[in-house]
Structure 1
């Protein structure tokens, strides 16, 4: 014999009930079918009872909705020729329900006994209608009222199943019952006095387990709206997978910590009998589901699932008066127990100075009141502090039978959470080591579950969530590079890079599932109006793991947002030099925030575009070397200009060409005035360990003052035409000496300077072509022959690749 239970979602509509019939057709052995009330009806019955007790006539509207739903279901499922009997029975039961509600209305209250009677109608009606429908379809199906079989008695004020009497009733009935399908209502029972009682939360599952245990069934099948127990909540973790096989103990741990497909009491009756439980999906019956058995998970994954309980609060009892005083713990837990408050988590410091417990946030006010009252004497004398609750919390738990035999799981769990700035308030781990639990802020639950699932279940594929500001030349190239490398990154580097948000100066768009990179231009064009603060707020609200803000702009305003991102554990990657070349205090603060919140702040492209200049410098410093002098050509745009400028063209035309080909900033004066180079040498000096401000750098500009004083590009280019003869003279003077013009940055003895220089043939800079950059590092290890880095130092492609490289660095952290 098999016992099948179908939950509220499985019987929520006539279409779903037809699905149940089709599932039952596949069985060859006798089966007991336990059903819940139609989806949502139990809540309606409770609401109607409460309204009637408050003398609110609105309960009649709810009753009318319940009646219409059940009668319509009968009319849709059962042929007209067989409807009369069923409709008559359903109306008769609804009349009784109406009488009970009227009684509550007239007396202005509802007792627990009356509440149980009212709520029982949900299962009574659904099970009767389903049994009649199955019979009308030609199946050998009968109805049996669970109230006649399952008996309860009072224990500590609660209804408890009398298993001795219940087992006897079940065995006697089913020994003589020859029907192939027996449909029974779940959730309901009766006392020895035949008063209607209910079995509480998960009551229909419990009913099915009671039948399975009493009759020693082959298996207990729980049919619901998901395909088993998952490695994590699939609504929060899209990559979660159904667990095919799990032990009783693992299932109980997961169900206790929020896996709603199963409730811990369900397992108890079948546990001692060794009866397996199978969780199946009514809407996808072909899927394997989850098999729960007595056998342990031998040789399988260490962590079988990740679960959580939300809406939690912490209560801490602490104070010097607790140390060495026997009975404090007993009093604490006793007062909570007497107030009918369930303690979900317990942790105590070995110093005995404090005890911390987790309770439902719904019980927190009552908990604080009874505990402070119980310890009023000690609180008044300062021996124990007044209990102040912490709210807005959740418990996250790792579950697995094999966890105890593997070292480092706790460290791995806490390290993963720490890397994503998920603050852990409390840690609890039982001696069995089947469960490791920690309390975190509820707002971090989704991020925590995804980060842990990625760490323990996704074959080390790390998801990076990017928020990209600026999609012009560099930004567009960057997005295209990500698109072209998606498969390579997943296969070879185990990185899943998703762009979740993009923005330009006009519009912005977010998609938590990831923005398709083959159509991002169209998506952005129809996005909402761009707003810097809304962009920041949205990134913070999403609170995704491994979040990275990518700044492809040259905006001082955007550079000013980095602290907001870093202080929320959102990494920053930027080609924008403004932040790192601003006041030293701001530069140092950003670096400090990056360390404090474990959020990398990378800006490799600030100097040399895609060249590994800063990375090399960092490695030199980290290895104990010291920079003595830096000589460099750091402006790809200026190098391009002076490599192409001669007496057969004009300075204006070459600068214009450099701008059009993307070698200069949008405002080319930033490059030609030397400001850009000053920023770069300043960043190099700071990364070398020196404290320097941009005002400390000597700028020997070659531009006329009139050009420097222009306020827009048109006026700037006009001034270049005006002073063409000056530029030609500079070129002629250098040519006469057989020198080339290079714009050089230098740092030595704590001082920095930039300016145009005439470079002779024997210098390392002489043969620098195109837009290439070159840096010479003279250090204590490279005193005579400098360490040289040379290559393309400008252009949207190489800058985008430098940003991409920083993204990969973060992925490999």
Structure 2
């Protein structure tokens, strides 16, 4: 015996109800089919009853519409020989409905009893149509089977009587039965009642339990329970298997797949629930059972620490507080009794261990009312100053992380709140039961989407770990980075399960943003029809988009861009900077940025500020982080200047070597930027700071080899004057060549002081054999004292710099 329940969407159209027919015909007998009203009919009946109660004669048009819709359904799907009797039965019910509504219209009063009777017509009509559609099906009126009783003003199922009637109606002979869900009848008064919205699931569960069915199948319009709401998280997918407890927790916290009371009757009989899609019947769906090895299609079980994330996207918190609550027995009893007497439901409770406050999560509609009745309940205590007035906080949402495996996995709560904090999501209240199966927390409503995405991403419910990247600057470095992202994206997804999502790109005049991602290979085309460029607009869009795991990548040399770092970090956006302006700015600002990143739990990385793609800053951080101390730094960190001095020869004077550096892209368009040594000063300042020293650029002593007069005037004048130095440098070159030496522009930090300048290097020095535009750095530390650590390699060029930036982006992904 199987019990199959089909929801309103499954019997909404002729096409969908024919799917129901195919599914039922493929099911072995005996079987019971439980159906909801046609999609939208229950809401239409409620609306019609309210119109009638308000004296609006338009209720009659609603009845006409219902009659037309049900007639069309019959004519579309039921065999002609069965139609006359069926239409007569339907019209009889609709005539009764019209009469009831007319009575409501005349007296303009809608009692609960009448409202229940009206809303029952949806299932009474749909079950007749479904029974006529199926071959050899026997229609059973649920009003004759499901019985209720009133207890403490609540309508409850009378299980003893209901179970007997179910066995009488369905258990006598094997066959196919059809009945409506949701509706019931009071055992004593005979009045029509119902089991609540979603009650058709409950009806099916009650029948399955009474008949000891082998399975309960819930057929709906989704592929089963999802790891999260797919409308919020497009990557959410079906959970193949859940325990009864997991399903109950998810249902109670916003997952609308199954009506929560449905689970209990079948759970006590250990009957599995299969949740499947009427419109996708081949999909395995989800199975809810006590056997954690059971899946709907025989595949391996779901082993992630959590099985799913559910949420209530609108809620309020009412807090009752005061010193008189400490250690006083009965305060919470008064709180909950007061709320219950006023019909206010509480779905989450949080109390401080000091017992000075109790916070109650309720619907926004009940917020003001709850405060009013609680203030009345504790009026005497409030007057005496022993308690505070109830406080209401609105605009909140609640998230529940659910999973049986959490109780066997240490660190889940720590990881959960760590990842929320890193993404700038503050938690207002936390609730967790001793079963460790549900961690619930309250956040601001505007943060709900971000919270769901980051949790889904972080707890292995997503196929990939996402990093949302904003690139500022599309010049040589930025353009090369975007090419590398395009080339490496698929490999990273395949090999590391990491997805680099390019969600924003901005240049000076144009930009483009898309939460779902931009094709890095075609970013130029996307920008042409995009938005205004510039850093101010970009920061506004980043804050507005509020993406999780966000990384801002600065591929410019702009001071204006660097000034926005603090704003971005304060919004929990990690920063990867090829731009040296911030890291070499005033020390207090540098420290502020570092501290802000640390406090916010995000990254501020600038490895490429020194040595392009060489692992210099990370190496220093590893050394100092492990307790070592940097005592001395010697470095050649200008690829441009190293190229120039390596190019000098009898045939290539200084002026030509500088021109070659510019033409081959090693120098800035104005090579005076490199020749001034300012770039080297910036880099030495950064290295000293990362080594633990407080230093500003002004503290670095500069020994320049170009007269100040060449830095004045236009670039054309510079090129005209530069050959005047050729003879001097050629003479010096010849002397050094004879002595077995060469020129290197060296940055030095020692004894707490720094300097940069041209030095003559002999062949015993490691800097002597430094080719092309390569960089080299020598670190003398407490551990590497007698034999300094050397880092050497290609230290200039857009591609290697972009590669270093890419590596920093990867570090942001590896928290």
Q: Could you give the per-residue CA deviations for residues 279-331 of structure 1, whole angstroms, max 9, x where no partner exists?
A: 11111111222222244679973533333333222222222111121111111
Q: What is the aligned partner in structure 2 of residue 612 from structure 1?
A: 615
2:315 corresponds to: 312
Give the whole-Å Cα distance in 2 for the aligned partners of 1:616 and 1:59. 77
Worse-matched range after superposition: 622-631 or 82-91: 82-91
d(CA) in 2 for partners of 1:166 and 1:587? 74
Distance 1:449 1:98 in 2: 46
Structure 2 residue 428 is the aligned partner of structure 1 residue 425:
yes
- Quick one: structure 1 residues 172 and 472, their matched pair in 2 at CA, closer, same or farther if it must change by over 3 Å? same
What residue ranges of structure 1 are gaps of 5+ in the alignment? none
Residues in 1 aligned to 2:390 and 2:589: alpha-carbon distance in whole angstroms:
41
Q: Sort the Cα spacing of 1:583 and 1:151 in 2 relative to 1 into closer, same or farther, 3 A.
A: same
- Counterpart of 2:147 in structure 1 is 151
Who is 1:369 aligned against?
372
Is the 2:655–2:726 contact (alpha carbons within 8 Å) kept by the matching residues of 1?
no
The alignment status of 1:190 with 2:192, answered yes or no, reads no
1:75–1:627 Cα change, 3 Å: same
Q: Superposed, which structure 2 residues align to 1:369-768 within 5 Å? A: 369-457=372-460, 462-486=465-489, 488-490=491-493, 493-530=496-533, 532-645=535-648, 648=651, 654-655=657-658, 657-665=660-668, 668-703=671-706, 708-709=711-712, 715-716=714-715, 718-738=716-736, 740-759=742-761, 763-768=765-770
After superposition, give the CA deviation of every residue in 1:387-428 in whole Å (9 maximum; x if it has no partner). 212233333333334543444433343344344443333232
Deviation of 1:266 after TM superposition, in Å, equals 0.8
- Which of 793, 809, 812 aligns to 1:810? It is 812
SS in 2 for 1:424: coil
Q: In 2 relative to 1, CA 636–61 (structure 1 residues): closer, same or farther, beyond 3 Å?
A: farther
Q: Give the direction of change, closer, same or farther, for the CA distance of 1:190–1:509 in structure 2 (3 Å limit).
A: same
- Native 8 Å contact 1:246 1:297 kept in 2: no
1:48 & 1:674 partners in 2: Cα distance? 82
Deviation for aligned residue 1:378 = 1.6
Q: Does structure 1 residue 227 correspond to structure 2 residue 223?
A: yes
Name the CA distance, whole Å, in 2 between partners of 1:46 and 1:669: 80
Would the alpha carbon gap of residues 65 and 590 (structure 1) be closer, same or farther in structure 2, given more than 3 Å must change?
A: farther
Q: Distance in 1 between matches of 2:28 and 2:440?
A: 43
Contact 2:477-2:799 at 8 Å conserved across structures: yes
Query: Cα distance 1:587–1:62, how it changes in 2: closer, same or farther (>3 A)?
Result: farther
1 CA distance for matches of 2:179 and 2:20?
A: 14
SS at match of 1:457: coil
The Cα of 1:655 is off from its aligned counterpart by: 4.4
Shift of 1:592: 0.9
1:121 aligned partner: 121
Q: How does 1:66-465 map to 2 (within 5 A)?
A: 66-78=66-78, 83-132=83-132, 134-135=133-134, 139-175=135-171, 180-192=175-187, 193-295=189-291, 301=303, 302-457=305-460, 462-465=465-468
- Alignment partners' CA distance in 2, 1:153 and 1:497: 58
Cα distance change, pair 627–112 in 1 and its aligned pair in 2 (3 A): same
Distance in 1, matches of 2:728 and 2:222, equals 77
TM-superposed CA distance for 1:200, in Å, is 0.7
CA, structure 1 residues 597+654, in 2 after alignment: closer, same or farther (shift >3 Å)? Answer: same
Distance 2:266 2:742 in 1: 89
Alpha carbons 1:345, 1:359 under 8 Å: kept: yes
- In 2: Cα distance, 1:516 partner to 1:391 partner: 39
Q: SS of the residue aligned with 2:385? A: coil
Give the superposed CA RMSD. Answer: 3.0
* Range with greater deviation from structure 2 (57-66 or 628-637): 57-66
Normalising by structure 2, what TM-score?
0.91
Structure 2 SS opposite 1:43: helix
Moved more, 274-283 or 456-465: 456-465
Q: 1:642 to 1:44 in 2, by over 3 A?
A: farther
Q: How far is the alpha carbon of 1:270 from its aligned partner? A: 2.3
Instruction: Give the match's secondary structure for 1:389.
Output: strand
Greater CA drift, 348-357 or 196-205: 348-357
Q: 1-side partners of 2:62 and 2:724: how far apart? A: 90
Q: CA deviation at 1:640?
A: 2.1
Contact 1:647 1:731 in 2 (8 A): no
Distance 2:103 2:561 in 1: 67
Structure 1 residue 15, shift from structure 2 partner = 1.3
CA contact (8 A) 1:473 1:662 kept: no
1: CA distance, partners of 2:193 / 2:669: 77
In structure 2, the residue matched to 1:33 is 33
Query: In the aligned structure 2, how far is the partner of 1:394 from the partner of 1:729?
Result: 75
Give, in whole Å, the separation in 2 of the partners of 1:41 and 1:706. Answer: 88
The whole-number CA distance in structure 1 between the counterparts of 2:639 and 2:58 is 76
Q: Report which stretch shifted further, 438-447 or 13-22.
A: 438-447
Residues 621/723 of structure 1: CA separation in 2 closer, same or farther (3 Å cut): same
Q: Would you say the 8 A contact 1:646–1:731 is kept in 2?
A: no
Larger deviation, residues 15-24 vs 460-469? 460-469
The question of whether the paired residues in 1 share the 8 Å contact of 2:29 and 2:176 is answered with: no
- What's 1:775 paired with? 777
What is the CA distance between 1:205 and its match in structure 2? 0.5
* 3-state secondary structure, aligned to 1:431: coil
Aligned to 2:14: 14
Call closer, same or farther: CA 1:586–1:174 in 2, change over 3 Å: same
Distance 2:60 2:510 in 1: 51
Cα deviation, residue 769, structure 1:
1.9
In structure 1, distance between residues paired with 2:642 and 2:47: 77
2:4 equivalent in structure 1: 4
SS at match of 1:347: strand
Contact 1:52 1:105 in 2 (8 A): yes
- Check whether the contact 1:663–1:795 (CA below 8 A) recurs between aligned residues: yes
Q: Offset of 1:576 from its aligned partner?
A: 0.8
Structure 1 stretch displaced more, 2-11 or 144-153: 144-153
Q: What is the number of residues matched between the two proteins?
A: 803
Compared CA separation, residues 431 and 764, structure 1 to 2 (3 A): closer
SS at match of 2:224: coil
How far is 1:278 from its partner? 1.3
Aligned to 2:298: none
Shift of 1:700: 4.2
Deviation of 1:622 after TM superposition, in Å, equals 2.1
Runs (4+) of structure 1 moved beyond 6 Å? Answer: 297-300
**Contact 2:554–2:578 at 8 Å: present in 1 too?**
yes
